[in-house]
A and B are shown apart, each in its own frame.
Chain A
């Protein structure tokens, strides 16, 4: 009984390492990328896609947390995370992240080599280029974070159609430009945290006004990319109408962020952008 209880407790301390909300959203983009092809979906392939992506995304997230555990300890927002608070050791996190990543990428290559290589590229950009190389050096590291975030949807699309096409790149671009609304909002909201951890961010490099403008511009480009991709995919008129409605909401919030900035408006754009992305993924799959 004691062993089972210990395993349960350990498993519970591992769960926050994968940032379930973020992983779930990225996973949903991968599935949407696959379904956006509107080919006859193969259930076995779909399960393989979901499983391999879940493992690869979870693995890279854990490796990020492993590498950034010193930053998490300094920052108020993150000091309760399992690694920073000492609930999980660095060694454990590293091995867990590495094993999940290897199984995820291995499974992806087993399903389809091209798809597997793209998944590996996403993991490489996220862990090596974004986290290890650039995050502590330049605020522009988020571009690489964005590219790796856009990989699951591209990978899903590639798995369905067997090649990289313009729609796949547009979908990837939509996620790439959605990510700044997420990260830059955090950068502004927890400005002092990032400052004390010496992590360069857009607000600390270019100021709040420029950051708000970038958030708004990113949201607009994300909405435009997903809209054009939707038209090119040939989604139903009703789904396109709904996408237009949701995009209008996103654009209005983006303008409010620039012209009537407040913490409330920026936070609402951040939340709305996540709902927007999830809804768009569902609509692209219809």
Chain B
């Protein structure tokens, strides 16, 4: 499906917001969250650029599954490191092992459902953290209420991930056209929510 002019504008704004977040939005943090957030927003930025250059065909690449995992993993690691000190090291280990497991199961011809289970588990845990942790922190008054926007972004990333997963599995919830039509909107809304949420924190 062709990338329309409107799609291009939306993707370009997404790229610019991601670039802004990498340059300005995460200044002054410790090393680990800085690296984690840079990875997450960096993937968003490069992915947006590649869709702009190559079109939606790039989403069919098997590499997308592995690379896109870096977004929830990076965001969740950054959030846990910043706001849940007791879980810092265990979650860092989970992130590294989870990501490695996804790479191994996706790059070898592993039989059965193991690759899907591992992907769903790692993605699920990371996604839940990105969704729930900011909402809980905002609700308890530990952070500014606006920080809940990061959770909203987390929900959107989950929605986008689900739509793409079903599409790649050949069992799309809605048609490929509809998914690709709303995809740039989801990306932009999600990135805006993240950038705004982190700014409020």
Closest to A264 in B: B54
B26: chain A residues within 8 A (beta carbon): 238, 241
User: What residues of A have a CB within 8 angstroms of the CB of B23 in the complex?
Assistant: 236, 238-239, 241-242
Q: B11-53: contact bitstring with A at CB < 8 Å (1 yes, 0 no)?
A: 0000000010011101100000010001001100110011001
CA distance A245 to B71 in the complex (A): 13
Interface: A20 (CB within 8 A): no
Docked-complex contact A272 and B22, CB < 8 angstroms? no
Would you call B22 and A248 a contact (CB within 8 A)? no
Which residues 107-136 of B have a CB within 8 angstroms of A? none
Nearest B residue (CB) for A239: B23
The 7 closest A-B pairs by CB, nearest first: A245-B42, A238-B23, A249-B46, A271-B53, A242-B22, A268-B53, A242-B23
- Taken together as a complex, chains A and B put the C-alpha atoms of A271 and B45 apart, in Å, by 15
Tell me whether B54 and A237 are in contact (CB under 8 A).
no
State which residues 237-275 of A face B: CB under 8 Å.
237-239, 241-242, 244-246, 248-249, 252, 264, 267-268, 271-272, 275
User: B54 — nearest CB in chain A belongs to which residue?
Assistant: A268
Give the chain B neighbours of A246 by CB distance below 8 A: 45-46
- In the complex, are the beta carbons of A272 and B50 less than 8 A apart? yes
**Number of residues from A at the complex interface, CB < 8 A:** 19
A238 touches B49 (CB 8 A): no
- Besides A238-B26, A246-B45, A268-B50, 11 other A-B contacts (C-beta < 8 A): A238-B24, A248-B42, A249-B42, A249-B46, A249-B49, A249-B50, A267-B54, A268-B53, A271-B53, A272-B49, A272-B53
Residues of B within 8 A of A279 (CB): 19
Q: Which residues of A contact B54 (CB under 8 A)?
A: 264, 267-268
Cross-chain contact A248 with B46 (CB below 8 angstroms): yes
CA of A2 to CA of B64, assembled, Å:
58
Q: What residue of chain B has the Cβ atom nearest to residue A237's Cβ?
A: B27
A271 to B53, alpha carbons, bound, how many Å?
7
Bound together, the chains give a CA A267 to CA B52 distance in angstroms of 13
Tell me if A245 and B53 are in contact (CB < 8 A): no
Residues of A with C-beta under 8 A to B41: 245
CB distance from A257 to the nearest CB of B (A): 13
B60 to chain A, nearest CB (A): 11
Contacts known (A238-B22, A268-B54); A245 close to B49, Cβ less than 8 A: no
A241 to B74, CA, bound (A): 15
Which residue from B27, B34, B49 sits with its C-beta under 8 Å from A275? B49
Q: List 7 A-B contacts (CB under 8 A).
A: A238-B23, A241-B26, A249-B42, A267-B53, A271-B53, A272-B49, A272-B50
B135-178 vs A, CB cutoff 8 Å, 1 = contact: the mask equals 00000000000000000000000000000000000000000000
User: Closest A-chain residue to B38, C-beta based?
Assistant: A241
Residue of B nearest to A236 (CB): B23
- Docked Cα-Cα span, A141 to B196, in Å, equals 50
Residue of B nearest to A271 (CB): B53
The CA-CA distance from A279 to B12 in the complex, in Å, is 13
B50-67 contacts to A, CB under 8 A, are: 50, 53-54, 57
